[in-house]
Structure 1
Amino acid sequence: MKPHTYGPYGGAYVPEVLNRPLADLTVAFDEAMADHSFTAELEHILTHYVGRATPLFHAKNLSQVYGANIFLKREDLAHTGAHKINNTIGQALLAKRMGKTRIIAETGAGQHGVASATAAALLGLECTVFMGSVDARRQEANLFRMRLLGAKIELVESGSKTLKDATSEAIRHWISTADSTHYIIGSALGPSPYPRIVQTFQSVIGREIRSQFYERFFRHPDAVIACVGGGSNAIGTFSGYYEDNQVALYGVEAGGYGIASGQHAAPISEGHTGILHGFYSYFMCDEHGNIRDTHSVSAGLDYPGVGPELAWLADKGRVEYISVTDEQALQSCMELTRHEGILPALESSHALGALQEVVRRQGDKSHIVVTLSGRGDKDMGILQEMLSGE
């Protein structure tokens, strides 16, 4: 079975032992999405358990600050506090359909780990989450939540001890346990068919934005913004407007200490093509493909690559990419909190940090939607540390 690609990106660059599990997953996913009973169960859980549809909120106070009409897609109000639950519920249902008894997941900021553990608890599956020890220290609340939900935590001490290394360990573990275990990848990356699976389950975000905005204004927004790490919330958001070229799409990467510093996580803004974790895309790597260390105040964006579909959309010019520094993200976090009473995740704060530039490009009075991918409760420790000298 030929792996799915997006232009030159994607594919399945994996050890031979994973060819069969990936082929089986491809068949199972296609059959499930064509089965009304599966999609009906998924929709039922998303509605009555996850709390969809999430609101599209007109941030009037923030709109006055920027001189534009700013709307927030409130994924922070979904169960577990982020968009990750859309994908984990879908993949956990798929795992049960395939006869798997156990799931594993990687996590950076902890939200995907919490969402995976939540789906496992709901559907009666065992769950193991791989998390870098650096991320575990800065996301202690989510670490505790995962354990409360019954998940086993495998702390990763190799490499930079962050999301990249957690993903590597999860893949290594899956190689030896694929018969009984399904690996729930949290971002729109990894070997085929994972980018397509994650995009499908997260596309509910884009569909809802499209219908909610049009029902209110009988038009489409001028621009849509989403933060970009691996890319699950971004690709889900953008999928609602692929064919509407009059709607500008902006992906916001983690600029860390600034692109010029080299200490960031913005592979599209400044990276090279290469292969990591089973797929071909843009990565924080040198011209020889050696992966460089990354930095971001946001654990969820601290990944050295980007999903293959987002790389392809960048090449085609359909999505424009902006980098936002740690400092800008922190400022935007405080700005939304104090103007609207909404504490965003630091990942989402990067998307908010691009508002000034997007309004400059789109013009005053433009209608702009920002996907608020998660809430900021998990980042309280980081915020206390970073803003203590304010």
Structure 2
Amino acid sequence: MTDWITTPVEPRLLRGALDVERTAHGILPHRLPAWARKQFPDPYLAMVEAQPSGVRLALRTRATAIELDVLPTKTVYQGAPVPPDGVYDLVVDGKLTGRASVPGGNTHTIDMATWSAVTRPGPMGTARFAALPAGEKDVEIWLPQTEITELIALRTDAPVATAPRHGRRVWLHHGSSISHGSTAESPTATWPALAAARGGVELINLGFGGNALLDPFTARAMRDTPADLISLKVGINLANADLMRLRGFSPAVHGFLDTLREGHPTTPLLVVSPVLCPIQEDTPGPVAPDFDAPKLRFRALSDPSDRTSGRLTLTLIRDELSRIITQRSADDPNLHYLDGRSLYGEPDFAELPLPDQLHPDPAGHRRIGERFADWAFGDDGPFAVSGG
């Protein structure tokens, strides 16, 4: 019988969260601070920012067995297949060593026709890991990127301490659902997590499904977050939601960058335009689920010829982002631009098509993560150790 040691789950053990909320059960990691959460009326953003993409427990321990009690909240889209339980990735000294899932928990059901939602309560569960390597080691438990996860109790068969950071640089990234990892196979298999591991940096992932809409509160949260490297992947959802016209988009990009530079005046800052998405390349938004399709797919609702009055397409967004960054970088040598199609473009779509017309599959995440890391963290990249 294991002699368990219970360690309170405290914020000091967490990486990748900007805030922690005390709940009736334990603690709930957040990826936006409390003051920012008061400034948006969107319940979908409230859901996705509480999904802990990139958030992990970071421990230094001799333990060979770990149990983590959690209360997950799982999202189900009405009419779509029920997704599998989320994955908890165990990383020991930088290597993926184990995976676990937790059945049960709350169920948050969204009607995609009306975007109304109902939450049904459920029981807590336990993620269990056994047969860890003996000896002192760094252990990370990465939380499921698409399940809100309340952390209740941590049990181990040896004492735990906060893991050291080993001098690694902090990379702060903001993007939409692809950055969030909504279709990745596990939390360490999102493209930002893959790129961070390849680049040897500590990730803070502010990828929010359905968002990255140049919200001022996100810019201020990033401005106030210590970071050595910053990236912003923006554009797809501005078109998908038909949220802006060109007249509003350009000043909003400038304003977001101005806010970031208030807190990070010389930090290497990379702006990435959208990856290839054929249904939105030259067709304005909005997009919506195609309820006539046999499986979840999205389609553009507008006509490709309707590009009047500055309606945004991905082609227009890329052109404008490139223009803005070229203009600003004349006075800001640490500001850089990357065309997202160099991460996933037409040849990649032919080989690894987007299953739902919007999001890459797990192989697509790996390709994007590897290409980003090789470009950004390479010897001549903006995130190179000697770069910036």
Asked which structure has the greater CA Rg, the reply is: 2
Q: TM-score scaled to structure 1, two decimals?
A: 0.31
Q: TM-score scaled to structure 2, two decimals?
A: 0.31
Greater strand share, structure number: 2
Greater helix share, structure number: 1
Bigger relative CO (Cα 8 Å, ≥ 6 apart): 1
